[in-house]
Amino acid sequence: MLSRLSEWFWNERLWFPEGHGWANLEDRDGVIYSKTSDLWVTLPIALIFLIIRQVFERTVAVRLAAALGVKEKVRVTVAHNTVLESYFRTTSKNPKQGEVESLGKKTGFSERQIHRWFRRRRNQERPNQMKKFKEASWRFTFYLLAFIAGLAALIDKPWFYTMEEMWAGFPMLPLLPSQYWYYMIELGFYMSLLFSVASDVKRKDFKEQIVHHVATILLISFSWCVNYIRAGTLIMLVHDASDYLLESAKMFNYAGWRKACNYIFIVFAVVFMITRLYILPFWIIRCTWVYPLTIYPPFFGFYFFNGLLFVLQCLHIFWAILILRMAIKFLPGNNIVEDERSDREETESEEDETPTKNGPVQNGHSPLNNNHHRKNE
């Protein structure tokens, strides 16, 4: 059964245009081609990345945080209360007004005390600034180095300037050492992100991040197996072009460097829009979806590859909307560009608010301009 399934899955009629197959990718005359078995190398690479990350975050990231002045907010630890703790863990972390009144009767607490207890308890579960900074600095370091390495590997290649060249001679595209390591390292890194996602800071686009990581891993793996390596390297380079800017903006955000954060974020937004919403769909995807049809008839692998690209493009549009929302907040002169995906820490000033039917009241007066519902990193 397994052998038949494997035979069906690897049927060359699924993955190659008519007249081509796996035999075209056999090494000959000193020319090396990509092989499916090479992908096993990414597993130890992913493990190495996880180890390097632990060392990096405990040494380099800590020193960098100290140099930039990253400071932790003092969090007030709530007194243990069996009733409230049970409700917090099993029912809701944000009780409604009717539930607050019921909890008040059970505990003897006032409504304000219960709201304060839940806010402080929620804060205890939120990741601290140092954890966020260390994660951002690790991703910044990788994305920056990967972008530089990818640019160096592609800058002298003809398909970097003329996209149609990515199909010249397909599927017999020789594998270069730079392409091999670029692929293995990128794939290993994304696998390490998927392995560590449970312990990383969870943001509001957590599900979208999972979809992105899985689609990226499938896209890189598939493009390697069927020798779409030229298209694959261009796609990876486009993604790395803006990611390091976002991570650096986060780093300055956590360090309290507001102006630097805002300026870098605007640069990131511009680069993101150009690379993800213009170059990727109108240059690269055009040459993976439209141009190949002028060379050979469509086949399953053609649809599968472009389907994964379409998934990534949908995610790019989703994130572009969030970026535009943050950019709009920046334009009127806000003090900081905020990440819409993140759940911010609630401050003590908010804990003094008592909900009423007409909204929150601060010190007995309705606020004229309540900006406490923005989401910070």
Q: What digits encode the pLDDT tens for the residues 359-368?
A: 443 333 333 3
Residue that is last in its domain, among 87, 109, 127: 127
Whether 6 is covered by a domain: the verdict is no
Chosen domain end from 330, 345, 371: 330
Residue 305 in domain: yes
Number of domains in the chain: 2
Give the pLDDT score at 270: 93
Same domain, yes or no: 249 and 305: yes
Residue 240 token pair: 């790395």
- CATH number of residue 86's parent domain: 1.10.10.60
Cis peptide, bond prior to residue 298, ω within 30 of zero: no
- 376, part of any domain: no
Q: Are residues 119 and 207 in the same domain?
A: no
Question: CB of 237 within 8 A of CB of 207?
Answer: no
Check whether residue 278 and residue 304 sit in a common domain. Answer: yes
- pLDDT number for residue 213: 82
Task: State the Cα–Cα distance between residues 302 and 279, nearest whole angstrom.
Answer: 20
State residue 98's pLDDT score: 79
Residues of the domain holding 212: 32-67+129-330
Q: Are residues 60 and 206 in the same domain?
A: yes
Asked whether residue 176 is domain-assigned, the answer is yes
Could you say which residues of the chain have pLDDT below 70? 1, 72-76, 124-127, 198, 201-205, 330-377
* Amino acid at position 239, single letter: H
Same domain for 289 and 207, yes or no, is yes
Coil/strand/helix, residue 343: coil
149, 286: one domain? yes
* Claim to verify: residue 140 and residue 199 sit in the same structural domain: yes
Residues 157 and 256 in one domain: yes
- Considering the domain architecture, whether residues 163 and 251 belong to the same structural domain is answered as yes
Q: Tell whether 159 and 93 lie within a shared domain.
A: no
163 close to 284: Cβ distance less than 8 angstroms? yes
* Domain shared by 173 and 265, yes or no: yes
Q: Are residues 163 and 105 part of one domain? A: no
**Is the pTM above the cut of 0.85?**
no
Residue 368 lies in a domain: no
Note the pLDDT of residue 361: 39
Q: Residue 296 has what DSSP assignment?
A: S
Q: Which of 127, 147, 165 is the last residue of a domain?
A: 127
233 in a structural domain: yes
DSSP annotation string for 109-146? --HHHHHHHHHHHHHHHSPPHHHHHHHHHHHHHHHHHH
